[in-house]
Amino acid sequence: MRTFHGVTLSWTVDEAVLEVKLHRGPCNEIGTAMLHELEQLAALVDDGAAGARAMLIYSDRPKGFSAGADLRELHDGMKGLRSSSARTLAQVLVRRAGAEEPVLATVRDMALGAARVGRRALVQPLVVREVRRFLRRIHAVFDVLDSAPIVTVAACHGVVFGGGFELALTADVRVADASARFAFPELRLGIVPGFGGVPRLEREVGNGVVRDLLLTGRSLNARRAHTLGLVSQVTARGEHVQAARRAARQAARFDPASVAAAKRFVKPVPRARLDAEIDTFLEMLRNPAVEAALERFVTSTDVRPYLP
Amino acid sequence: MTDAHDRVLDRLLQLARDRYGARAEQLHAGDDLYAALQIDSMEAMDLLTALEETFDVEIPDYELQEVRTLSSIAEIVRQRLP
């Protein structure tokens, strides 16, 4: 499919470059809707990228490339699981009590109370199972983009945070305009990045930089990211997509088989670390502090909600 | 405060006026910058980038987390001037 127009992203092939535009408001938060369309993109790339020899990915959202995982969706999903699980447990208790009206209402209240007390133990395995499924799916997509046999270029501006940063890190080359800021604020929620970000960042820069970003939650501007080698080119504001497009078109001129061989040589997928990341993420997710931090985040009105 | 602090503060006021126009006309050193200019989280990030570009410094986000007045932001910037 040479053109696609979805709810969260679109693509077209132009001059041998597969151009992918992210356009989900407010800032390309990655939830189930975007994951579904990213899976379609990965299937296309896996199937020859419609003949394209390079890929460009960028955002048309004014606020930035991507603000990362859709934390509101995660928060609402956890709440939904909790309430539905409590209802289910209440129904089971009522059934076992064999009660009938009017005793039923009292038994139901007692059962709901018991369900609330036991909800954490009841719900947590469900949350972990659902999050594990989501992570497996997004890792599969990011692995395809990371190891695609064509050159991939990410054009970044504004907010490039969390999962958005992780998506940008799958690209071979990153071009940023002067407004871009890169951050891994996940520790504010009590978790590590879960979409493969740390292993891919480790591949690009030294561990000291990884620790600084992860353990302080600070963001880096484009110039600093360029100095660290995280970004290949910095442009004036608004000029990054054109610069990235020129880089992609240049790469598209090379022999496809040579490019594929070169990429396998210079860009190994850090498989063991990616698997370890999922295990670490899910282990950290079991900490009750995560749910409380998520609640604080989605209700925060602070100008820097990504910091504790 | 020092001369260096005052120079940073003057440039900071000018930066705010350049970026926010009429919203920043009545700003004073003791004003809460974010409240006075009704800056949201995305604008705060953009302002941080502007501070770093204008003064050629690097400021970790957390340095500004509890800092809200123009004068105190100017002091954070001054401490990082080359």
Lowest mean pLDDT among A169-178, A218-227, A281-290, B18-27: B18-27
pLDDT value of residue A82? 67
Average pLDDT score over residue span A127-131: 87
The pLDDT > 70 percentage for chain A reads 86
* Structure token digits, residue A19: 């151009």
A179, A183, A304 member nearest B46 (Cβ): A179
Name the DSSP class of A30. Answer: B
Q: C-alpha A268: how far from its chain's center?
A: 20
Give which of A28, A184, A304 to mutate to test B binding, by max B Cβ within 10 Å: A304
Put simply, whether A209 touches B (Cβ < 8 Å) is no
Give the list of residues 6+ apart from residue A101 with CB closer than 8 angstroms, or none.
Answer: none
Q: How confident is the model at residue A183 (pLDDT cuts 50, 70, 90)?
A: very high
Q: How confident is the model at residue B35 (pLDDT cuts 50, 70, 90)?
A: confident
pLDDT value of residue A77? 81
Dump the DSSP string for B22-74: GGGTT--TTSBHHHHHT--HHHHHHHHHHHHHHHT----GGGGTT--BHHHHH
pLDDT value of residue A39? 98
Higher pLDDT, A121 or A19: A19
Average pLDDT score over residue span A53-59: 98
The CATH code belonging to domain A3-69+134-299 is 3.90.226.10
pLDDT value of residue A123? 65
Report whether the peptide linkage leading into residue B82 is cis, meaning its omega lies within 30 degrees of zero.
Answer: no
Query: Is A100 noted as a catalytic residue in this protein?
Result: no
pLDDT value of residue A278? 96
pLDDT value of residue A85? 61
All residues of chain B having their beta carbon less than 8 Å from the beta carbon of residue A304 are 41, 44, 61, 64-65
Q: How confident is the model at residue A91 (pLDDT cuts 50, 70, 90)?
A: low
Lowest mean pLDDT among A2-6, A14-18, A196-200, A297-301: A297-301
At B62, the amino acid letter reads Y
Average pLDDT score over residue span A165-194: 97
Put simply, whether B55 touches A (Cβ < 8 Å) is no
β-pairing, A9-14 vs A3-5, is antiparallel
The pLDDT > 70 percentage for chain B reads 99
Rounded to 5°, angle at Cα B39 from B37 and B44: 125
Count, in order, helices (H) and strands (E) of chain A. 12, 11
Average pLDDT score over residue span A210-225: 96
Domains for chain B: give ranges and CATH numbers: 3-79 (1.10.1200.10)
Average pLDDT score over residue span B55-62: 94
Put simply, whether A197 touches B (Cβ < 8 Å) is no
B39, B52, B53 member nearest A303 (Cβ): B39
Query: Is A166 noted as a catalytic residue in this protein?
Result: yes
pLDDT value of residue B5? 93
- pLDDT at residue A102 greater than cutoff 60: no
Do B60 and A221 lie within an 8 Å CB cutoff? Answer: no
Q: How many Å lie between the alpha carbon of A225 and the closest alpha carbon of chain B?
A: 12
What distance in Å separates the CA atoms of residue A135 and residue A10, rounded to the nearest whole number? 23
Average pLDDT score over residue span A165-190: 97
